[in-house]
Amino acid sequence: MKKFLFLSLALLSSFVLSAYTESDSPLFELGGQKKSVSSLPLTTRNLLYEAELKNYDMVSAIIDDYILNEYFEKIAKKKKISVQEAQDKELKISDPSEREIKKFYNDNKSSIPATYTLDQIKPQIKDILKKQKIMEKRTALVEKLKKQEKFKLLISKPISPVTNIDTSGFPETGDKNSKITLVEFGNYGCVHCKHFNDVVHKVLKKEKFHFVFVPFTLSSSELDADFVKAGFCANKQGKYWQYHDLAFENQRMLSADSLKDFASKAKLDQSAFEACLKSEEAGIYLKHAKDVGKSSDVSATPTVYINGKRYLSAISEEALIKAIKEEK
């Protein structure tokens, strides 16, 4: 009964949220003036969207749990076993292989303290991979059950506010003629940005879209600012992405020395590169990147937009591919 009440309240709150975020009806009155969502600043609209999306995701998760629990209860009743036994049997997975463990370690090396060897953290990696496999099997089972039972979710997914982003002058790659443009505001010292960079490279090989990277720094760090300028100077020599990837691949080594060392490894004209770093043009580029980030409501990195809509899903190939396909 309690579960049903919680589900009902969650569904009701979702309908209420959808009613005001998806319409242009007044949301509140202040000083005698009625305000609708569309009349509010971008930051406020984004916060309202995030609140509604969290609610939508919560409701979806509750319904998924309900569908699974109903299924496990049916199996338990049929086989005369406990619900927990039925769940354990249906979600049973094999232990991760040594190859899978090693791959995870290599893929995530940049975020693992250098003092830890593979053998030292193997139990933790094994546990993470097992949990991932269970979640994958659980998700696949839910989707299978939904298809079998012709499931329909009778509430709509919230729609993100659309932000117009000035991407002029920033490095771009992928299909420039695509109807889908993904813009990332990222920072070379940001661990999550490095992970997103790896994901984007993989997805670019599978999906056609236009990718623009806006180097953005939230701190007053001179080094952060210099790396923004360095990317600009590498781009002037037509080797932006070589420099960009070197900076992310060697994230732990970011320094005044490595800034120039990456230029050498990218085979840039060193004297032209160093002169460019000190130029007024590079400073203007840095300010332009900051201004575009500010006008696009960027308060953390990575901040990602797909066709002007803020991307709030997981940083994974599967999630990004799904979001891109939804825009097609």
Residue-range domains of the chain with CATH: 2-148 (no CATH), 172-326 (3.40.30.10)
Angle between helices 270-277 and 256-265 (to 10 degrees): 140
For residue 99, with 0-12 CB atoms within 10 Å meaning exposed, 13-18 middle and 19 or more buried, which class applies? Answer: exposed
pLDDT at 127 over 90: yes
Quick one: average pLDDT of 124-133? 94
Which one is predicted more confidently, 77 or 22? 77
List pLDDT tens digits, range 229-269: 999 999 999 999 999 999 999 998 899 999 999 999 999 99
Which one is predicted more confidently, 185 or 11? 185
Alpha helices in the chain (DSSP H): 2-21, 42-79, 83-90, 98-107, 118-148, 191-204, 222-236, 240-249, 256-265, 270-277, 280-295, 317-326
pLDDT at 111 over 80: no
* DSSP conformational letter for 121: H
DSSP string covering 201-230, please? HHHHTTS--EEEEEE---S--HHHHHHHHH
Mean pLDDT of the chain: 89
C-alpha–C-alpha distance, residues 186 and 68, integer Å: 38
Least confident range of 9-18, 103-112, 247-256: 9-18
Determine the pLDDT at residue 157.
Answer: 85
Whole-model pTM: value is 0.78
Report yes or no: 229 and 277 within 8 Å, Cβ to Cβ.
yes
C-beta atoms surrounding 261 within 10 Å = 14
Buried b (16+ CB within 10 A) or exposed e, 21-31: beeeeebeeee
C-alpha–C-alpha distance, residues 228 and 222, integer Å: 10
* DSSP conformational letter for 149: T
Determine the pLDDT at residue 108.
Answer: 80
List pLDDT tens digits, range 48-73: 999 989 999 999 999 999 999 999 99
C-alpha–C-alpha distance, residues 172 and 161, integer Å: 23
Buried b (16+ CB within 10 A) or exposed e, 144-171: eeeeeeeeeeeeeebebbebebebeebb
Determine the pLDDT at residue 23.
Answer: 60
Model confidence at 38, pLDDT cuts 50, 70, 90, reads confident
Determine the pLDDT at residue 6.
Answer: 45
Determine the pLDDT at residue 22.
Answer: 58
pLDDT at 312 over 70: yes
Instruction: Provide, rounded to the nearest whole percent, the portion of the chain with pLDDT above 90.
Output: 73
| CA dist list (Å): 231 to 19, 191, 195, 218 | 44, 18, 19, 17
List pLDDT tens digits, range 275-295: 999 999 999 999 999 999 999
pLDDT at 221 over 70: yes
List pLDDT tens digits, range 39-48: 889 999 999 9
Report yes or no: 299 and 155 within 8 Å, Cβ to Cβ.
no
List pLDDT tens digits, range 135-188: 999 999 999 999 999 999 998 888 889 999 999 999 999 999 999 999 999 999
Model confidence at 10, pLDDT cuts 50, 70, 90, reads very low
Report yes or no: 296 and 309 within 8 Å, Cβ to Cβ.
no
Determine the pLDDT at residue 86.
Answer: 95
Model confidence at 20, pLDDT cuts 50, 70, 90, reads low
Instruction: Provide, rounded to the nearest whole percent, the portion of the chain with pLDDT above 70.
Output: 93
